[in-house]
Chain A
Amino acid sequence: MKSWTRREFGRSTGAMVLAGLGPRLAASESKARVVVVGGGIGGATAAKYLAASARTIEITLVEPNPNYTTCFFSNLYLAGLCSLESLTHGYKTLAQRYGINVIHDSVAAVDPVAKTVGLKSGPKLPYDRVVVAPGIAFNYGALAGYDEAATQVIPHAWNAGLQTQLLRRQLESMEDGGVFVLVAPPNPFRCPPAPYERASLVAYYFKQHKPRSRILILDAKDSFNAQDLFLDAWERHYRGMIEWLPAQFTGGIKAIDVKERSVKTASETFKAAVANVIPPQMAGQFAQQNGLVDQSGWCPIDPITFESKLQPGIHVVGDASSAGDMPKSAFVANSQAKACAFAIAAALTGSERKSPHLFNTCYTFLSPDDAVSNAISFKPAAGTIKIVDNFVSQVQESAETRHRAAREAQSWYTAFTRDTFGYAAF
């Protein structure tokens, strides 16, 4: 057991699990280098599990921001049920306990020929492999009148932080009786149930503080994820407060008028007291600029190693990847990052590569004590990733089952953020 602790992992038992991984090579061997671009869930998890699975790999994580605020659970913040600080995580444990070189900078470009990652501040980091986890970018051009400047008036709040704070302030200062208009994006987008969870939790907030207010969801789609569970919950908890209009009813969303705070559809124009426009999405800017994206707007990958099908030696995990049946969720990013880390460690150290276990679990709040969950397992098949099993909460579940799921969700948040960043903020 002595060999497990050659690297200093501290006293964390979580670290001990990881320290059991990886071939035990002599410390004198020269180190392979992996650069991880992006410190969200996918990037942070990949860096941590790479560090733990092979001590002979030198890992650098490049992330411009000093902290990461999770998008998951940020709808609870919008409802006034938790602070933004409690959803914010730093990189100290990854640096100190796992020996990851964390650099707060932006990446200018990857040079796949010289095999270097160039930082905005100048230095070029040599690499053997790169893991890219840039998350999502917004396709502003798709919605007339809505661009980056418009987000300061009508937030998307689809990256957690200042945008989420802005939307919360607008909801707080909205008069009772106002209409909150939420524009839901076309598929695929980050976290399929999240716009509808947002509507549910904002409705909860209205019910407590602004009971005459209403929510209007203008959807780019004709149906949405777990629709039966949401429609049932809206009837039980928020009768008459939430109206959902599918694209087939409105004829589709045509334009946003920032000055008037209104949304124009093919059939009519809807004026909002507070508006939240979640634009169509594509792989993060870095992926767009470095040749990792195909005509779909997302990054095609090998379903076992997550290596880009367009740029050898560069792996893409998380929301930016185009991974068959896998939805764009934090849990999926974490699951993909582990599979990718194990595959890279195997390739760089010459150890045996195993087929990955890929999962998704999502907890979704319908009210603070009514939550549902799903659990999906996936496997690589025929060049892509297919669903093996898919279990979802049922409409007729007891209140006790739903309470339990809500309590579980809170525990899950702590475990999951520890798994990713090495510790939880609360």
Chain B
Amino acid sequence: MIAVSVAAGFLMILADRGQAADRDDGAKLAAMCTSCHRLDGGDGSIPTILGMSPEMLTRAMLAYRSRERPSHIMRAVTLSLSDEEIVIVARYLAALNKQVRP
């Protein structure tokens, strides 16, 4: 529950950002994700990053960062992102998913 409210809090951070800024920064950050995650829905043994809400994605990344979810690869990735960047990329991927699967 703490993680849920923390994630919701982070999402509030970006309330005032422009959509275009979000999209450009989100796409650049997502370029980091696509070195390992496919964006056509088929990921095999690597968990997919499509089909999640921005809250779920943010929560998942925070859980990797806090070691609540174990993965040394995702820990390195999430440690390198600021709270704000985690929210931006989560929002970007969630919006992308809406486009991909209406």
A residues whose Cβ falls under 8 Å from a Cβ of B: 1, 12-14, 16-18, 20-23, 49, 331, 334-335, 338, 342, 354, 357, 359, 361, 373-377, 379, 388-393, 404, 407-408, 410-412, 414-416, 418-419
| Chain A: CB-nearest residue to B101 | A13
| Chain B: CB-nearest residue to A361 | B73
Q: Kindly identify which residue among B30, B38, B100 contacts A414, using a CB–CB cutoff of 8 Å.
A: B38
> B13 at interface (Cβ–Cβ under 8 A)?
no
Using an 8 Å CB-CB cutoff, how does the interface string of B73-99 with A read, 1 for contact, 0 for none? 101110111000000000010001001
> B14 at interface (Cβ–Cβ under 8 A)?
no
- A410 to chain B: which residues have CB within 8 Å? 44-45
Contact assessment for B72 and A411 in the assembled complex, using a CB-CB cutoff below 8 Å: no
Given contacts A20-B26, A357-B80, A361-B35, contact A407 B44 (CB under 8 A): yes
**Cα of A408 to Cα of B37 in the assembled complex, Å:** 11
Contact assessment for B99 and A16 in the assembled complex, using a CB-CB cutoff below 8 Å: yes
**A32 to chain B: closest CB distance in Å?**
18
Using an 8 Å CB-CB cutoff, how does the interface string of B18-48 with A read, 1 for contact, 0 for none? 0000011111111110111111110111100
**B94 to chain A: closest CB distance in Å?**
13
**Cα of A376 to Cα of B81 in the assembled complex, Å:** 13
| Chain B: CB-nearest residue to A357 | B32
Contact assessment for A359 and B31 in the assembled complex, using a CB-CB cutoff below 8 Å: no
Q: Is the interface of B mostly helix, strand, loop or mixed?
A: helix
Contact assessment for B40 and A13 in the assembled complex, using a CB-CB cutoff below 8 Å: yes
**Cα of A22 to Cα of B72 in the assembled complex, Å:** 31
- B36 to chain A: which residues have CB within 8 Å? 361, 412, 415-416
Contact assessment for B96 and A419 in the assembled complex, using a CB-CB cutoff below 8 Å: no
B residues whose Cβ falls under 8 Å from a Cβ of A: 23-32, 34-41, 43-46, 50, 72-73, 75-77, 79-81, 92, 96, 99-100
Given contacts A393-B72, A414-B44, contact A17 B27 (CB under 8 A): yes
**A185 to chain B: closest CB distance in Å?**
26
Contact assessment for B29 and A14 in the assembled complex, using a CB-CB cutoff below 8 Å: no
| Chain B: CB-nearest residue to A3 | B20
Q: Kindly identify which residue among B24, B32, B73 contacts A20, using a CB–CB cutoff of 8 Å.
A: B24
**B14 to chain A: closest CB distance in Å?**
16
Q: Kindly identify which residue among A373, A416, A418 contacts B73, using a CB–CB cutoff of 8 Å.
A: A373
A-B contact pairs, 24 of them (CB 8 A): A12-B40, A13-B99, A14-B39, A14-B40, A16-B39, A16-B99, A17-B39, A21-B28, A22-B24, A342-B28, A357-B81, A359-B80, A361-B35, A374-B72, A375-B72, A375-B75, A375-B76, A377-B80, A389-B79, A393-B72, A407-B45, A408-B46, A411-B43, A416-B35
| Chain A: CB-nearest residue to B74 | A375
Contact assessment for A391 and B27 in the assembled complex, using a CB-CB cutoff below 8 Å: no
| Chain A: CB-nearest residue to B81 | A357
| Chain A: CB-nearest residue to B93 | A17
Pairs A-B, 7 closest by C-beta atoms:
A411-B44, A391-B72, A375-B76, A20-B27, A407-B45, A377-B80, A375-B73
Contact assessment for A331 and B75 in the assembled complex, using a CB-CB cutoff below 8 Å: no
